[in-house]
Chains A and B, each alone.
Chain A
């Protein structure tokens, strides 16, 4: 086998730039792909966003059930959860989330005043462009990938809980089984295999949308292109979340 010098150098530079982390991942062949992913994954070609339409959410909790099954999340901890907001005529706000909506909402909350508006707000990791949790990590155990996902290195995490305090959205928790920080990953292992996140796949009303902004046929691109007003949570925190909400009310915190 003969390789000339130029080819060898080319190969070396490619191997260095792409690295071990961005290779093709095997997947059961009978599963249909839902997202467009090329064979040699290049993180620079993807910009994933998550858009939640609050008016479409019915609070069934199927996202929470799917999430719990996908990750075996221990009871009492939630990677994603659904909050119920009730706003009365005089502007008082009632918020609750019994068991993180894993059991769904079976009974109405008793509010003695007339209700002006009521809605559900699904919450999960915001995947900030400038994540506070990453900045405070002393062990280099949490990081942002080149395609924008904020992930946790479970082998390096020492469980100091700085990130849990730093997250303005409360989406992190200390996993009692592994004793490391844990949070929603937007199902990175599914997305890289070309599947939608488990919660998006489970949502019966398509209130949760996930997709690639650089893919012009994706649902999220059409929503962003349509000019529908999209909001983020706590914009004054300066974290620039990539999770956007459609029809978000002012009362949501």
Chain B
């Protein structure tokens, strides 16, 4: 009697193993396996394709030149040449499609937001920016007082945001020297 039960258990186990094996064979992707290293490269090869299907959203500054030649030219010869257009104006993928056709408005930062946007880099109250002179820093209301303008002024009332040192009197001499 004992052996009868044992055979039953073994049979059930065998069936489970066989079903499991078949299921593994069916459900494991064909390109899943060792692709160079058992520790680091045991994966599904088409996962790379899946990753590559991700759309690009930032189109870089060079894609702006065609439709916005003036701004691009002004920006690319200014101290702001290293600033990405898409940082202030939003990702290009929501403004133009893959063929370069217009699909939606780009962000235009205004008033209070504009001041905040400028201060993200130029706020001298942060000690790390003051210690090393990577960017020109200012203190926000103090700069307006020093320049003797109204405290309600926004940055773009004096500085052209694409070329911030253009049309500023005390840097004009410097610009003439450099030949801009």
Instruction: List chain A positions with a Cβ less than 8 A from chain B.
Output: 19-22, 25, 27-28, 30-32, 34, 55-62, 65-66, 69-70, 84, 86, 104-108, 115, 117-120, 130-131, 134-135, 140-146, 151-156, 185, 188-190, 192-193, 195-196, 198, 201-206
Contacts and interface: CB of A to CB of B under 8 A. Distances in A.
B127 A108 contact: yes
Nearest to B137: A58
A119 B56 contact: no
Contacts of A105: 123, 126
Interface string B9-52: 00000000000000000000001100111011111111111111
A143 B128 contact: no
A24 to B, nearest CB: 11
19 contacts: A20-B46, A28-B56, A55-B132, A60-B121, A65-B87, A66-B87, A69-B57, A69-B58, A70-B57, A84-B128, A108-B126, A115-B127, A135-B39, A140-B43, A140-B44, A151-B51, A152-B47, A189-B56, A201-B58
A21 B8 CA distance: 48
Contacts of B98: 28
Contacts of B58: 66, 69-70, 190, 198, 201-202
Indicate the size class of the contact surface on chain B: 35 or more
Contact of A202 (B43, B84, B123): B84
Q: When A and B form their complex, which 5 residue pairs have the shortest distance between CB atoms, in order from nearest? A: A143-B43, A153-B47, A32-B62, A21-B48, A104-B120
